[in-house]
Amino acid sequence: MALAAAGRVLLQAGSRLGRREVVDGARRFANKRVEVEADEAAGIAVMKLKNPPVNSLSLEFLTEFLISLEKLENNKNFRGVILTSERPGVFSAGLDLMEMYGRNPAHYAEYWRAVQELWLRLYLSNMILVCAINGTSPAGGCLMALTCDHRIMADNPKYTIGLNESQLGIVAPFWFKDNFVNTVGYRTAEHALQLGLLFPPAEALKLGIVDEVVPEDQVHSKAQSVMAQWMAIPDHSRQLTKNMMRKAMADNLIKQREADIQNFVSFISRDSIQKSLHTYLEKLKQKKG
């Protein structure tokens, strides 16, 4: 119920943004920041993140992503989604730092609700989600991958993945932490979260952050073959199993959603946290020059 209501708000937000859908033979639809190649006969869609330069999860991106996902969820012909980046090299730079820096409390609250919504929708999706990680994927980018049922990462040592929040002077919220713990185990998560570690593909595979590492040019074909394997399982048994495994963790956020938003707003509004974000943003800029 809560999810449906939030979804309606996002749909309204989407129409406020005035995005026009481009429908190409009913097989491809796109808004500005998400491209969907939808093969209805096969029941599979490829969702490509395209929010240049680094696929950061801005409020507009989150809104467009959720609308695209909802379209697929509402069409019972679609059983599986492959999530990837339209720009190889960066899967997603995570949450958009500019949404969390120098804004007002109402904006922080709106943003955080959308971040929660993305996580809940992906984590509880009835569809099979396969993540084709074709680039670097820190923090919120890693979280998005962690919601998927299977993760394939390109074998490029330049790419890293992990929850690096503590390096920015911020804290991974409890549901980021829970999702990570459930994936890699408590000790690995405790160690990696405190140090804010980002792992290259081989290490990420060893720790279980990703399920497979394949040559870069094979990420998409591998994602298709993994999808075929998952599609061979009857939906009802797979979905019931997924729900059994995931519901408790999602419910834990749902029941304290408003408190989590308030925590985020008061945490991110602190002068000390804003200073940390400022320093980190400056560091990103200096890296360039």
Ligand X SMILES: CCCCCCCCCCCC/C=C/CC(=O)SCCNC(=O)CCNC(=O)[C@H](O)C(C)(C)COP(=O)(O)OP(=O)(O)OC[C@H]1O[C@@H](n2cnc3c(N)ncnc32)[C@H](O)[C@@H]1OP(=O)(O)O
Angle at the Cα of 169 from the Cα atoms of 164 and 171, rounded to 5 degrees: 65
First-to-final CA distance of the chain: 49
Q: List all residues 6 or more positions away from 253 whose beta carbon is below 8 Å from its beta carbon.
A: 116, 119, 120, 175, 260
- Closest contact distance (angstroms) between CB of 288 and ligand X is 5
Stretch that binds ligand X, among 25-33, 79-87, 132-140, 199-207 (CB under 6 A): 132-140
Angle at the Cα of 205 from the Cα atoms of 78 and 130, rounded to 5 degrees: 5
Q: List all residues 6 or more positions away from 228 whose beta carbon is below 8 Å from its beta carbon.
A: none
Interface residue with ligand X, options 29, 31, 51, 56 (CB under 6 A) = 56
Does residue 288 belong to the site contacting ligand X (CB under 6 A)? yes
Nearer Cβ to ligand X, position 167 or 239? 167
Interface residue with ligand X, options 170, 189, 207, 261 (CB under 6 A) = 170
Could you please report the per-residue DSSP string of 256-274? THHHHHHHHHHHHHSHHHH
Strands (E), the chain: 22-24, 28-30, 34-39, 44-49, 80-85, 89-90, 128-133, 135-138, 150-154, 161-162, 212-214
Distance from C-alpha of 212 to C-alpha of 206, rounded to nearest angstrom:
10
Does residue 132 belong to the site contacting ligand X (CB under 6 A)? no
- Closest contact distance (angstroms) between CB of 118 and ligand X is 12
Query: Within 261-280, which residues bind ligand X (CB under 6 A)?
Result: 263-264, 267-268
- Closest contact distance (angstroms) between CB of 164 and ligand X is 5
Does residue 136 belong to the site contacting ligand X (CB under 6 A)? yes
- Closest contact distance (angstroms) between CB of 89 and ligand X is 6
Nearer Cβ to ligand X, position 56 or 116? 56
Could you give the residue numbers annotated as active site?
95, 140, 164-165
The binding site for ligand X (CB under 6 A) comprises 53-54, 56, 90, 93-98, 136, 138-140, 164-165, 168, 170-171, 173, 263-264, 267-268, 284-285, 287-288
